[in-house]
Amino acid sequence: MNIISVFTELSSGFKNTLIIFFLTALMSIPLGIIIMLAKKSKFMPLSKITSFFISIMRGTPLMLQLMFVYYGPAYLMGLNTLDRFTAVIVAFVLNYACYFAEIYRGGFDAIPKGQYEASKVLGLSTSQTFFKIILPQVVKTVLPSITNEVITLVKDTSLAFVIAVSETFTVAKAMSARTSSLTPLIAVGVFYYVMNYLVAFIFEKFENRLNYYR
């Protein structure tokens, strides 16, 4: 097999992998903030329920969560299941949002309380304190951890095969088995490496822009 024909056949898998990646990132990163705020809420029932939900999502395999989201509604409640692709997005978004929530929580907890007190002394409003003082510091603190999670997300997209969603790795395995060649798998390795390199490069640029002491 020549490399051009391999990448041509893999193109449908590339498309699904990219869609899963971008939709998960776009939805889970902001959702993580909401989950983090719910966990830090002074309303104890909400805080406890959110903490329990996060522990479930972080303590069980993403593969199992994919199966539960797709098969669970039918088996447990007799409801129609989501279509396979939607189930993948729901499971990925919920899983990664919980990880991002914990990253954000760590970033906010790392800010000294004196920062808030100093802002009040200076007469800044709550919104001014959050957006101008606290948030820039939190973003700078959590960006390396977010980068690592996003890189992991690139590789985790291959788990979509669990509920028969065809993505890059699934297509490559089928091609490799059919042709008795490692070329499709090597091509997939190149694809994942390039994607992760681009993610790391983009986030490194953000980190450099936030480096106040250059």
- DSSP-derived secondary structure for 141-181: HHHHHHHHHHHHHHHHGGGGGGGT---HHHHHHHHHHHHT-
155 φ/ψ angles, rounded to the nearest 5 degrees: -75, -35
In a domain, 214, yes or no: no
In a domain, 47, yes or no: yes
Type of residue found at 127: S
Asked whether the beta carbons of 108 and 134 are under 8 A apart, the reply is: yes
Asked whether the beta carbons of 104 and 33 are under 8 A apart, the reply is: yes
The pLDDT, as a whole number, for residue 51 is 96
Cα distance between residue 25 and residue 11, in whole Å: 21
Cα distance between residue 182 and residue 199, in whole Å: 26
The pLDDT, as a whole number, for residue 135 is 81
Domain count, the chain: 1
Residues in the chain where the model's pLDDT stays below 70: 1-2, 212-214
pLDDT digits (tens, 9 = 90+) for 81-105: 788 999 999 999 999 999 999 999 9
Q: How crowded is the C-beta side of 130, counted as CA atoms within 13 Å?
A: 3
The pLDDT, as a whole number, for residue 213 is 47
Q: Which residues constitute the domain of residue 69? A: 3-209
Looking at residue 96, which CATH number applies to its domain? 1.10.3720.10
The pLDDT, as a whole number, for residue 75 is 83
Cα distance between residue 169 and residue 107, in whole Å: 34
The pLDDT, as a whole number, for residue 77 is 77
The pLDDT, as a whole number, for residue 63 is 93
